[in-house]
Amino acid sequence: MEEIIGFVENLEGALAVRPGPGDGSPEISWGDTFFFYAPDGVMPQATQPFATIVTKNQPGDESSHLDRPDTFRVNMAAGKEAFIDRTGHAPREPATDDDPGVTDAVIAHPVYGSVGWLAVVNPGRRTDAAVRELLRDAHHLARARHERRTGPTTSSR
């Protein structure tokens, strides 16, 4: 998990937010990590993260069984093209054969797959390169959205 956080933090303009006790965040988010494109280093107030790492089951999202020891899930806003590439179907089409608890496999996010999010529980050797590529792509998409709203930043991808 720390390796993935370090990888994303090294992407230009990426900000990792790690909620914890005393920062005003809800307790359910403690221990998780949220990644934003924030070239000014300040967490955007009206923007969703481009990727997250969750360390526990969330209400309505228990199917990945994140309550197992040493289990976490990386979630990435992949976009329609990458989503279709990885799953073989469009985001709005239901995934019938994905096991949300399977480890080291790229799958449609069990809750947000319908909007183009992909997920990997406990990334490992089989998915390391794919996770890094998907995180770079999610970062690039977030940057492009930011630039459409605010204008270009220093350098392009």
CB environment 65-77: b (16+ within 10 A), e (fewer): ebeeeebbbbbbb
pLDDT of residue 157: 46
Q: Looking at residue 94, what is its pLDDT?
A: 76
pLDDT for position 155: 54
Phi and psi torsions of 30, nearest 5°: -60, 135
Tens digits of residue pLDDT in 11-62: 999 999 999 999 999 999 999 999 999 999 999 988 999 999 999 999 999 9
User: How many CB atoms within 10 Å of residue 58?
Assistant: 14
Of residues 156 and 38, more confidence is placed in 38
Is residue 93's pLDDT more than 90? no
Q: What integer pLDDT is reported at residue 70 of this predicted model?
A: 95
Could you report the per-residue pLDDT of 114-136, keeping only the tens digit for each? 999 999 999 999 999 999 999 99
**Mean pLDDT taken over the chain:** 93
- DSSP 3-state helix, strand, coil percentages of the chain (rounded to 5)? 30, 20, 55
Cβ pair 17, 36 in contact under 8 A: yes
Eight-state DSSP code of residue 29: G
Q: What is the CA radius of gyration of the chain?
A: 15
Residue with the larger pLDDT of the pair 46 and 104? 104
Q: Is the dihedral of CA 122, 128, 134, 138 positive or negative?
A: positive
